[in-house]
Structures are given as structure tokens and as C-alpha cells.
Amino acid sequence: MDVSGNSTLMTNVTPAPDHCNTTNPVTYKILSWLMIGEFALGLPLNLTVLYIFLFRFKFWKTNSIFLFNIVVADFLLVVCLPAKAYHFQHGVRRSSNRFVCQTMLFMLFLNRGASIAFLTAMSLDRYFNVVHLGRGNFIRVMKKSPQISILIWLLLLPLTIPTMLKTFECCNSHGRMFETDPQDITDTFREVVFFTQILIPFFILIYCTVRIVNRLKKKTVGDKTKLKRAVCLVISVILVFSVCFLPCTLARMALLFVRLKEWQEVENVVVQVYDGFMVLSYIDCLLDPLVYCFCYSGFKDAYLDTFCPAVIRRKLSIDFFTGTLTTTATSGTRITSPVITPVTLPMIDKN
């Protein structure tokens, strides 16, 4: 009787079992190869983009400090992918080493938060430049100051540090402990941050897009190129959000729901879906260069001129926004200034 009573008592106080091991090894091996592919494509892409911003655009002179921070965030995200793929290959969702696990989570969530913050800031900048042209644009002032970018990174730290306190992916995440657990408030705060840092910027982007499109429709005279580029920018950012961030957010909602309902068999499936969408979210390091093309009309031309052969440059010599044919230099002469001559390439939009 005593043994039975003690066993019953232990059952009541022990948290629900958590499975950090993969329930379907085949699924996670496929996800690991997808991450290896993202790493193989993302590392050279982000290194070359980093080179463009450092040596061609000189980002500190061309008001592209926010974009440079997105490149840095993407690069730091890419270098974390091999470790994550290694764990999936060996049938675990996270490292068994507590320090490695928490460091990986911190890096992944910090860099994703930085990408979202700077992408949203760039979209707001275009919104103010188009819809509230002539009024004070505080974001334009902010993006010229490196100190503001540093401040944004520092403000992200308090939102990311909770991932260092308790692991997030599987063990002791929200819904695993009883409500009386004093650490439950940490999990709740972390879940709130996870959802708000995606949903709030997404609604801001929708609002900016609607206002910019309406402004474009009302413009009956004058050059519409800048307005069209602004529309393309915010739509490209919404595309990044829709493909990379919203699916994992919805999957996280479903995971918390079935976990709190204690539907263990359903949870085993939803966990795989959630992990799959998280792997998909890492593809933003491949999609962000699309945003750079809309922020700076000369980015595509500078990139092609630096890294693509002359034959490819000739085939891609159609203007990115107007669809008109432009002539490009094929002699291999490097463009050392972000201001490109009108004869060869379009001027860089410094707004």
C-alpha cells in the first residue's frame, strides 16, 4: 500500500513526459538535409551580399545601415544551421548539452528577431516617404545612425534571454509544467514574445501596403517609379513573413493547444509539423536579398557586375522595375561608387 501510495504521489507531482528524441527519424533526416541545403546556398549568398554592402555600397555612407544589419542577422543565422542539422541527423531535436542547446536557441531567436525588426523598420521608412511625404520621418533619421542599430540589438536581448533560462524546443516548454511552477511565468512571457514579434509587424506591414497602394492609385501625374518600388518592397517583406514566419507561428499555436489538451498522439504529429515550419523559416536568409533589390535599385546591378560573368549580365540587362532594356558594361570594369551613371545602371535610391 505504501509503495502504491508513493507511486501515486510521484505521478501527481512529476511533469508530463517530454520527448526530445525525434518520433519519426525519416522526417527529421529530410529536415536535416533541407537545412544543409539552406546552409550551402545561404553561406555564399550572404558572404557575397556582405561584400557588396562593405566594399561596393559602403553602407555607412548610403543610408543602408538597416539593410546591413539584416545581412549580419542572416549570416549569423546561417552559421547555426549545421549544428541544428547534426542534431536532427542523430535523432534528437536539440543538443543534450545544456550550454549548446541554450546558445543555439538564443542565436536563432535573436537573429530572427533582428531580421523582423529591421525589415519592419525599412517598410515603415518607405511608408512615411510615400504616404507622408514632406513630414518629419524619424525612421530616416534613425537609419543614418549606427547607434540606433546597436540600440535595437540591445533591446532585443531582454526578449531573447528567456530562451537561455529554460529550453524552448521540447523540454519544460509551456504546457509541460504545472501551473503552480514558479518558472511558468518565464514560459508564458517567452510564448508572448514569440507570437507578438511576428504578428504585430505583420499587421503593420499589411497597413503600410494598403496605404502605399492607395497612394499609388491616387497619383495621376508624375513619375510613379518610386511608388511602384515602395509597393514592391513592402510586398516582398510580406512575402518573407508569409513564407518564413507565419506558418511556424500557426504551427506553434496548434502545438500549444494540443499540448494543453494532453493529446499525446496528436502532439507527436504536430511537433513534426512545427519543426518542419521552423526549418522553412530559416529560408529567410535566402529571400532577404530580394528585399535589397527593391530597397536599392542598384543592388542587383552591382551584385551581377561583381559576381556574374558578362554573358549572364547581358541576359539579365532588363531593368528590374520598368521592364525596359538597359545597356550594361561588359568590359569587366568595376563600379567603385554606389552612385551609378544613368547610361549604364539606374541611380541608387537613397530613400
Q: What is the pLDDT of residues 226-237, one digit of tens each?
A: 777 778 888 888
Would the pTM of this model clear 0.85, i.e. be above it? no
**Do 323 and 175 sit in the same domain of this protein?**
no
Q: Provide the number of structural domains found in the chain.
A: 2
More confident residue, 13 or 236: 236
221: which DSSP letter?
S
**Which is higher by pLDDT, 219 or 344?**
219
For residue 4, what pLDDT band results from cuts at 50, 70 and 90? very low
Q: How confident is the model at residue 323 (pLDDT cuts 50, 70, 90)?
A: very low
Task: Answer for the pair 274, 252: CB distance below 8 angstroms, yes or no.
Answer: yes
Distances (CA, A) of 305 to 72, 137, 263, 320: 22, 33, 55, 15
The model's pLDDT over 34-70, given as tens digits with 9 standing for 90+, comes to 999 999 999 999 999 988 888 887 777 766 788 888 8
Residue 63, classed as helix, strand or coil, is coil
Average pLDDT, the chain: 75
- pLDDT over threshold 60, residue 270: yes
Higher pLDDT, 78 or 292: 78
Asked if pLDDT for residue 266 goes beyond 60, the answer is yes
C-alpha grid cell, residue 314: 547581358
Residue 3 lies in a domain: no
Q: Do 111 and 223 share a domain, yes or no?
A: yes
In this predicted model, which residue has the larger pLDDT, 306 or 45?
Answer: 45
Looking at residue 326, its pLDDT comes to: 42
Is there a single domain that holds both residue 61 and residue 196?
yes
- So what's the pLDDT on residue 235? 86
* Nearest one of 285, 216, 220, 273 to 248, comparing CA atoms: 273
Q: Which residue has the higher pLDDT, 306 or 19?
A: 306
Asked if the structure places residue 207 within a domain, the reply is yes
- Within a domain: 61: yes
56 or 349, which is more confident: 56
Residue 6 forms part of a structural domain: no
pLDDT at residue 247 greater than cutoff 90: yes
- Residue 182 domain-assigned? yes
Least confident of 81-85, 180-184, 259-263, 281-285: 180-184
Instruction: Say if residue 323 is in the same domain as residue 238.
Output: no
Q: Report the distance separating Cα 187 and Cα 239, nearest Å.
A: 29
Q: What is the pLDDT of residue 128?
A: 81
- Does a structural domain hold residue 35? yes
pLDDT band at 320 (very low <50, low <70, confident <90, very high): very low
- Would you state the pLDDT for residue 184? 65
Name the band, by pLDDT with cuts 50, 70 and 90, for residue 334: very low
Domain co-membership, 189 together with 309: no
Angle between helices 284-295 and 65-89 (to 10 degrees): 170
Write the CA distances from 120 to 126, 215, 236, integer angstroms.
10, 19, 11
Question: The CATH number of the domain where 57 resides is what?
Answer: 1.20.1070.10
- Looking at the DSSP bridge assignments, the partners of residue 15 are none
Assess if residue 109 is contained within a domain.
yes
6 Cβ neighbours under 8 A, 6+ residues apart: none
Residues 40 and 56 in one domain: yes
Structural domain range at position 350: 299-351
Average pLDDT on 146-174 reads 73
Greater confidence (345 vs 41) lies with 41
Task: Say if CB 272 and CB 23 are below 8 A apart.
Answer: yes
> Tell me, what's the pLDDT at 337?
40
Whether residue 199 is predicted with pLDDT greater than 70 in this model: the reply is: yes
Instruction: Work out the pLDDT band at 6, boundaries 50, 70, 90.
Output: very low
